[in-house]
Structure 1
Amino acid sequence: MRLRGVTRSRNVVDRRGRGGRAAGGIGGVGLLVVLAIGYFTGVDVTGLLDQAAPSQQSSEPRDLTEAEEQAGDFVARVLTTTETVWTEVFPDQLGRSYRAPQLVLFSEVTQSGCGGASGSSGPFYCPADQRAYLDAAFFDFMSQRLGAGGDFAAAYVIAHEVAHHVQNELGILGQVHQLRASMSERESNALQVRVELQADCLSGVWAYHVSDLLETGDVEEALNAAERIGDDYLQARAGRQPNPHTFTHGTSAQRMRWFQNGRASGAVADCDTFSAAQL
């Protein structure tokens, strides 16, 4: 992805290197339980992670490594592209203005408006404070553990979390939250899948509008990432039999298809997963 001429977004809150409190034993699974109460998490990779001791974060500030500096620069530039796209798409397609979210970069653990956050849960969006949260080490996990490397694969992850903010701006997350409150777990999971697939489609809308920044192989990187973070792929990779009733993000095929739907037209109207008879 060609980002050299893209400026850095001012909406990045970088908490890395500043120290903080210990996470006190909130692991991936525990965190997901907390965030599931009324909020929507990002990519669930906890089934692939080794059992670890409670994460700790030093209270002493430290300098960022060169790799961390580069990751922060990349995230800030990608975030700018989302701001540019949605600032144009909202009035053009939706007849309203867009308020960009902040993105919080952290290392290992942090606090959000949705509670304690751990890098082991993957990136997520918190509607309570309208911020996306990302431990950039997740990109290394995607590349090294999932085989989903490449700069556009990482950009797709950022765009997906921003897409949840788009949903929040449109009132979709609030409506879904109300519906899920009276549903069975199975029904709630099925509705959550539609939320996530719509975010994948909206990521595709973003990809359509940044086509001038794409390089050969970028789209393939995003599709590969979508495949590797499908519920069926992750459950199988974790040694479990894929169980559709427990899916919360959609299968690999579904995630790839809805990303392509958005990228094909660049139209938000083509991302109505809630009315789709077949996902």
Structure 2
Amino acid sequence: MKLRGVRRSSNIEDRRRSGFRGGGTAGIGGVGLLVVLAIGYFTGIDVTPLLEGAGQTQQQSAPRELTAAEQRAADFSAGVLGTTEEVWGAIFPEQLGLEYNPPVLVLFAGQTASPCGNASGATGPFYCPADEKAYLDTEFFATLSQQLGAGGDFAAAYVIAHEVAHHVQNELGILGEVNQARHAASQTEANGLTVRLELQADCLSGVWASNVQGLLEPGDLKEALNAARKIGDDYLQKRAGRVPNPHTFTHGTSDQRERWFATGYKSGQVEACDTFGARDL
């Protein structure tokens, strides 16, 4: 992805210099794997089962300087966030007749707090509608590449774009509607609603990718599609040594995530991302 010369967003809150870091993280495997790779959002959904066995503790230490790698991650994240602001800032008035208010991206290391609950690197990137901020432990980029085999800068950009897509859903009132519907539904039905929400975010990420003018390089689209596949519920459950159980899916299968991202990319239109009206996901 060509980010040289791209405007860096100022909506970055970097907490990585603070004296609090997570400790005792569970190894990658079993429940720990599902926790680390659960790219999602917090809107009052009970995530206790996901956190079981994560073994996170909070440790205080002296404030520290960022490493060169952490500085690069911050610069990359600010660049990608800047592209989302440009794209959605144009799409909202053109396609929706609305004004776009961008989110803040919080960068943290190990552990942090949010109005939606405490979070660690093990919970993966998430969006909190209570403060309209997306949260990212930049170490997740390494997890995505080294442990999942979803390398490449555009795969990492897709992760940020996905969380921004949840903010788009919040701006449109979709998150609140789904959260209300979840509370009135059975667990299986609630999971199904969450799957549709996540697939819509994947589709909206594709819309962003379609509208990133002149920044894509050969292989970028393939990297994003591969990343979408590697965080499918069925893939993650198999990797954790489980038999995939569709009733427990909350993000969609690998095929579904890849297909909906591609749908958004091919159309470039928000209206193409109506996963709630789709009969076949």
Could you tell me the TM-score, scaled by structure 2's length? Answer: 0.90
- Corresponding residue for residue 138 of structure 2: 136
Q: CA deviation digits over 1:32-85, x for unaligned, max 9? A: 8xx7662498xx9979xxx56433343310000000000000000000000000
Contact 2:35–2:122 (8 Å) recurs in 1: no
Runs of 4+ in 1 over 4 A off after TM superposition: 21-32, 44-47
- What amino acid is the match of 1:60? A
Contact 2:22–2:110 (8 Å) recurs in 1: no
Q: CA deviation digits over 1:191-225, x for unaligned, max 9? A: 10000000000000000001410000000000000
- Corresponding residue for residue 5 of structure 1: 5
Distance 2:17 2:248 in 1: 37
Distance 2:4 2:46 in 1: 33
Distance 1:138 1:268 in 2: 28
Question: What is the DSSP-based 3-state SS (H/G/I as helix, E as strand, rest coil) of the residue aligned with 1:213?
Answer: coil
- What amino acid is the match of 2:102? A
Question: What is the DSSP-based 3-state SS (H/G/I as helix, E as strand, rest coil) of the residue aligned with 2:207?
Answer: helix
Distance 1:172 1:139 in 2: 28
Is residue 17 of structure 1 aligned with residue 23 of structure 2? no
Q: For this pair of structures, how many residues does the alignment match?
A: 272
The aligned runs of 1:200-215 (5 Å cut-off) are 200-215=202-217
Contact 2:42–2:129 (8 Å) recurs in 1: no
Is residue 234 of structure 1 aligned with residue 236 of structure 2? yes
Is residue 126 of structure 1 aligned with residue 132 of structure 2? no
Contact 2:24–2:55 (8 Å) recurs in 1: no
Q: CA deviation at 1:167?
A: 0.1
Distance 1:233 1:124 in 2: 20
Distance 2:148 2:259 in 1: 19
Question: What is the DSSP-based 3-state SS (H/G/I as helix, E as strand, rest coil) of the residue aligned with 1:212?
Answer: coil
Question: What is the DSSP-based 3-state SS (H/G/I as helix, E as strand, rest coil) of the residue aligned with 1:56?
Answer: strand
Q: CA deviation digits over 1:162-205, x for unaligned, max 9? A: 00000000000000011000111000000100000000000000
Greater mean deviation of Cα atoms: 112-121 or 196-205? 112-121
CA RMSD of aligned residues (A): 2.5
* Unaligned residue ranges in structure 1 (runs of 5+): none
Contact 2:42–2:128 (8 Å) recurs in 1: no
Q: CA deviation at 1:20?
A: 2.8
Distance 2:134 2:100 in 1: 16
Q: CA deviation at 1:228?
A: 0.3
Distance 2:138 2:149 in 1: 16
Q: CA deviation at 1:19?
A: 1.3
Identity %: 62
- Corresponding residue for residue 44 of structure 2: 38
Measured at CA, do residues 148 and 238 of structure 1 come closer, stay the same or move farther in structure 2, by a change above 3 Å?
same
Distance 1:226 1:267 in 2: 19
Could you tell me the TM-score, scaled by structure 1's length? Answer: 0.91
Distance 1:107 1:124 in 2: 14
Q: 1:81 aligns with which of 76, 79, 83?
A: 83
The aligned runs of 1:1-279 (5 Å cut-off) are 1-20=1-20, 38-39=44-45, 53-279=55-281
